Structure 1
Amino acid sequence: MDKRYSQEVPKQRLFLSAIFGRKQSRSASSEPPPYESITGSPTKVIHKISSTRGMPEEALEFLRQYDTVILVDDSQSMTHCGSTRGVSRWCEARQALQTLAEIAHKYDEDGIDIHFLNAKHSATNIRSSSQIHEVFDQVKPSGMTPTGDRLDKLLKPYLTKLETADIQPDGTPIDRQTGKEIKRINYIVITDGVPTDDPKNPIVDAATRLKAIRNLSMVQLGIQFVQIGNDEEATRSLKMLDDDLSKESGIWDIVDTTPYSELSPVTGDGLVKALLGGINRRVDAQNK
């Protein structure tokens, strides 16, 4: 373990574990704990905290350490009905991201970045719900679900920056050209269907490349898949992705998945809790 995290991780785990509990394994019992309990897996505790106002400020401060990049499914099926009658999955995603943008801006002046699976349009440094609305108005859902290809194109430039960085003894990656620290990053993939290509290969490639960077921390990068809509085949696809990656030997587990059953409807608060839950799991893994 790098020296920086041997000092700061215990303190970070103290309040994060109090919120989410430890994720013992992917096959942990699905029995929900009592309402009063603060233990249990992140995905179960999501249901017990109704909004970010119920979370310790210290936990939300974790958002300052990360850039947040959203990859939104804009395939044709996103026009189908979502969790609420009369509201499409596309509108449900937009509403959730409008809330997330406001929350993220409070803790990260960089705001969030948004990309789409099919549309070339993207936006960076989004800080308000109105900006989210404008971005979504410029994209019309259509086409397939090329999750693997799009994710690969987002990951590669960041991985290259890390591989060419000057990694400090404490694990901090410094850009050799700018002399600035390369900020940690979380990718949220919001999708409703089975990918038309396989996202496993680019993820395994990314995890392998990350581990090969000497002294780099496990919490430098994370990918969170969030299912929107109740397509059972999509749920199985996410579970298979999660299970397959957990069985890969010799790579870092950088992926978390949140199926429809654990976050319905998808909300901005729910996305934040899913993010923090993923960070908590990687911090625990880092500290083992």
Structure 2
Amino acid sequence: MASVSWQSIAHYQALSPRSFELSYPPMPRSIDRDNARKLQLLPYYNTVFLIDDSLSMMFTRNNDEKANWAIVEIWLGVMAEIAARYNPNGIEIRFFHSREIGRGIKDRNGVRNLFSKVFWFTTGTPTKTSISVVLDEYFSGYRLTPQGLEMPKALNLIVITDGAPSSPSEDPTGVILNCIQWLDQYGVPVNDREVGITFAQVGRDPRATLFRSRQDIIHHMPSMRRNQRKIVYTLKSKLNSVVLSNNDYNRKVIKLLLGVIDKT
């Protein structure tokens, strides 16, 4: 078994304190009418953020640049407060490695409290394993009854990572295909967006590659060409800046929060 390198967040905070300073942008003065309409769909979904807490999330190029970990914390704080305006249940936050789970997060303080409980970071990016845990839990809520299919609230899963899976075995293509096949087997209508998975990248590493698009899934399994389910969405905008204009909120933050709920 390969050795695993662990390090505490306090170690990196001590080396580069400015990289972990949290400075939240002001909340948007207004949300445009079209996005406000889309955000009204949030109560119909359980919005779950799955966060990469691997060791690489601590690294910065220089002491003046935010660590990816701090950038994600700021973005989540902003999105939690926007989501809470439309969904009384807020958002849920999980991690690749840590077993900490934050449910009903509605503001930046809730995010900060949860992040403070994640002490240790390890190498490796177990993308497939982490997504499998969330999807297995979701599909365990499906029940076939004499009255028909009982389903949990629809899932809006948003995966934020700084790069590609750590090994080919952690490529999530297979688990996403399994998800599509489960939906088919349960007879869920193709146009029903019961499961949405959004991939977003944090950081500026030019070598990092986001998970593939639907076209890449089809390339991996040609038999899926006839399947019209659209459950995967890759956010092209990287989460680098934490200085957000009102236009950024309407174009970037809300777009990420909605994921595949609305892909217009």
TM-score (norm 2): 0.73
Alignment of 1:209 with 2:182, yes or no, is yes
Give the drift of 1:84. 10
**Letter of the 1:68 counterpart:** T
Identity of aligned residues (%): 29
Q: Determine if the alignment matches structure 1 residue 195 to structure 2 residue 165.
A: yes
Alpha-carbon spacing, 1:132–1:161, altered in 2? closer, same or farther (3 Å): same
In structure 2, the residue matched to 1:134 is 113
Question: What SS does the corresponding residue of 1:86 show, helix, strand or coil?
Answer: coil
Q: By how many angstroms is 1:253 displaced?
A: 2.9
> Does 2:208 match 1:234?
yes
Q: Secondary structure at the match of 2:141?
A: helix
Please tell me whether the aligned partners of residues 83 and 264 of structure 1 are also in contact (alpha carbons under 8 angstroms).
no
- Establish whether residue 278 from structure 1 lines up as the match of residue 255 from structure 2: no
Counterpart in the other structure of 2:225: 249
Give the counterpart letter for 1:75 in structure 2: S
State the match for 1:99 in structure 2: 78
Residue in 2 that maps onto 1:259: 236
- In structure 2, the CA distance between the partners of 1:280 and 1:241, relative to structure 1 (3 Å rule), is closer
Runs of 5+ in structure 1 lacking a partner? 1-49, 176-181
Give yes or no for contact 2:198–2:260 (8 Å, CA) kept in 1.
yes
| Corresponding letter in the other structure for 1:243 | Q
**What are the residue-to-residue correspondences of 1:43-82 with 2, within 5 Å?**
53-56=31-34, 57-81=36-60
Matched, 1:125 2:104: yes
Matches within 5 A, 1:112-191: 112-140=91-119, 141-162=121-142, 164-166=143-145, 174=150, 182-191=152-161
TM-score calculated relative to the size of structure 1? 0.67
Gaps of 5+ in 2: 1-27
How far apart are the structure 2 equivalents of 1:207 and 1:104? Answer: 27
1:167–1:214 contact (8 Å) kept in structure 2:
no
Q: Deviations over 1:137-157 (max 9, x none)?
A: 111333211010010011012
Q: Separation in 2 of the partners of 1:69 and 1:151?
A: 11
Cα separation, 2, equivalents of 1:167 and 1:234: 48
Q: Which whole-Å deviations, capped at 9, do the CAs of 1:34-64 have from their partners, x for residues lacking one?
A: xxxxxxxxxxxxxxxx886234322221112
1:94 positional shift: 0.1
Provide, for residues 178-224 of structure 1, a one-character-per-residue CA deviation record: whole Å limited to 9, x for no partner: xxxx2111000000021121111111101111122224453111000
- Number of residue pairs aligned between Structure 1 and Structure 2: 220
The CA deviation at 1:250 is 4.2
- Aligned mates of 1:64, 1:106 — CA distance in 2: 10
Higher alpha-carbon deviation: 265-274 or 66-75: 265-274
